[in-house]
Amino acid sequence: MPLQVTLKERFDNRSVIKVISGINNFDPKSVGSIIQVADKGKATYIDIAASTELVHLALSLTNLPICVSSISPKLLKKCVEAGAQMVELGNFDSFYTQGYAFSFHDIINISVKVRNLLPEIPLCVTIPYILPLEEQIKLAQILENVGVDILQTEGLVTNLKSNKPNYSLIEKAIPTIAATYALSKFVDLPILCSSGISDVTIPLAIEAGASGIGVCSCLKESNSNVAMLATLNKLVSSISSCSYSLI
């Protein structure tokens, strides 16, 4: 399904910032705060848990495009009927911590079900970082063939401690950036680089072939909406600089 014109322009310019509230975050207060920050900070679009209540909340707070994330095709369909404009499978971080891992075939099967249920809605699919890189590439190619519109990479986010903060930030981002670089060589779909991305590592992600980034943890680590907005402003500034350098 073609993206909205303004959204497509951001993907074409490789300047997308998707603000993620979390696939398992159903707290209206928390999600509402993140949506308001995304709106004020000029994010490209928001990604919220698949809940019709949260979709209604988002519609009341912003005009930004709304994406809903889940592993349930039927739940994604309900949210689209409630007003969501995009759907996503993933990110899977919260499932890994519960001991559940998605296989190569799991992702294909769910993606095909969603595509069949929602043939006219833009679909983003996260490529599980736990798969060997060769399988990630093969999966991305199959997803492109079944009609997925956007891919997202992920990586394990750990609490790295270092006396060199920027080095720690780069370490966090290496897995997802490496996956982005590899996938971009084999598919023509736009790729969002997510998990552990910061204003320091955005240029690396864009250089690796990303069309934009997905951010969650770096915003949630902020202790107030003001701090969260300041972080988002840094991200927007960083990716804007990358965009200009690509012209």
* Residue 96 confidence (pLDDT): 80
Quick check: 139 and 182 in contact, CB under 8 A? no
Dist. CA 164–CA 81, nearest whole Å: 47
Q: At a CB cut-off of 8 Å and minimum separation 6, what does 30 contact?
A: 21
Q: Is residue 217 part of a domain?
A: yes
Q: Is residue 236 part of a domain?
A: yes
Q: Is residue 8's pLDDT more than 90?
A: no
Query: Which tokens in the block code for residue 228?
Result: 């969260």
Looking at per-residue pLDDT, the higher value among 52 and 221 belongs to 52
**Which sign, positive or negative, has the C-alpha torsion 195, 201, 204, 209?**
positive
Can you give the residue range of the structural domain that contains 215? 5-242
Domain count, the chain: 1
Q: Is residue 73 part of a domain?
A: yes
- What digits encode the pLDDT tens for the residues 43-70? 999 999 999 999 999 999 999 999 999 9
* pTM above threshold 0.85: yes
- What digits encode the pLDDT tens for the residues 67-120? 999 999 999 999 999 999 999 998 887 788 788 888 999 999 999 999 999 999
What is the CA angle 244-246-247, rounded to 5? 70
The CATH number of residue 199's host domain is 3.20.20.70
Q: Is residue 247 part of a domain?
A: no
Q: Is residue 151 part of a domain?
A: yes
**Mean of all residue pLDDT scores within the chain:** 90
SS3 158: coil
What is the CA angle 69-208-204, rounded to 5? 90
Q: How many helices and strands in the chain, by DSSP H and E?
A: 11, 8
Looking at per-residue pLDDT, the higher value among 247 and 170 belongs to 170
Q: Is residue 57 part of a domain?
A: yes
Q: Is residue 109 part of a domain?
A: yes
* Residue 244 confidence (pLDDT): 53
- What digits encode the pLDDT tens for the residues 140-195? 999 999 999 999 999 865 444 445 555 576 777 888 999 999 999 999 999 999 98
